Amino acid sequence: MDRLLVALIVLVVASCVALVARWRRQIDAPTQLVHRAPSQLDRSDFERPEAPWLVAVFTSATCHTCADVARKAAVLEAPAVAVTELEHAANRELHERYGITAVPTLVVADAEGVVRASFLGPVSATDLWAAVAEVRDDPRPDSTPESLDD
């Protein structure tokens, strides 16, 4: 009977230790992919490399949000602004070259190809146009922004 009682006490203590250990063990969250816009573009990869500004919209044909972002960006087309939509299936090499892992990705690059503004995912027309106006008016010592109204 003493052995049974000792065995029962050991079993209860072991169970409590196992439960406490289980509660204290932290389960790591799954690794999350971090999406980033490129910080530099080679302007010769895009239409109208001579334009002072480039708005590049990386999209996919299966993405409904992409069509909306591309439509909002298209109205920015002007002599000083080249707007290019780069659909994934048709421009897979550029998506891979610039590490595009999420669409829509929109970047605004200056004449040197430096990305001055970017958006991942949906963007309102107001936010997009304000960002373009802000980078246009940003007098950076390493670049000479041209007016978007030219």
pTM: 0.72
Is the preceding peptide bond at 49 cis, omega within 30 degrees of 0? Answer: no
Confidence band of 140 (pLDDT split at 50, 70, 90): low
Q: What is the pLDDT of residue 7?
A: 81
The string of pLDDT tens digits covering residues 101-136 is 999 999 999 999 999 999 999 999 999 999 988 988
Reported as a single tens digit per residue, the pLDDT across 9-32 is 888 888 888 877 777 776 767 777
Q: Which fold has domain 43-137?
A: Glutaredoxin (3.40.30)
Give residue 9's pLDDT. 86
Report d(CA 60, CA 76) in Å as an integer: 20
pLDDT score, position 10: 84
Q: Domain residues of the chain, as ranges?
A: 43-137
Q: Helical H runs in the chain?
A: 2-24, 64-74, 92-97, 125-137
Which burial class, exposed, middle or buried, applies to 141 when counting CB atoms under 10 A from its CB (0-12, 13-18, 19+)?
A: exposed
Q: What is the mean pLDDT of residues 63-91?
A: 96
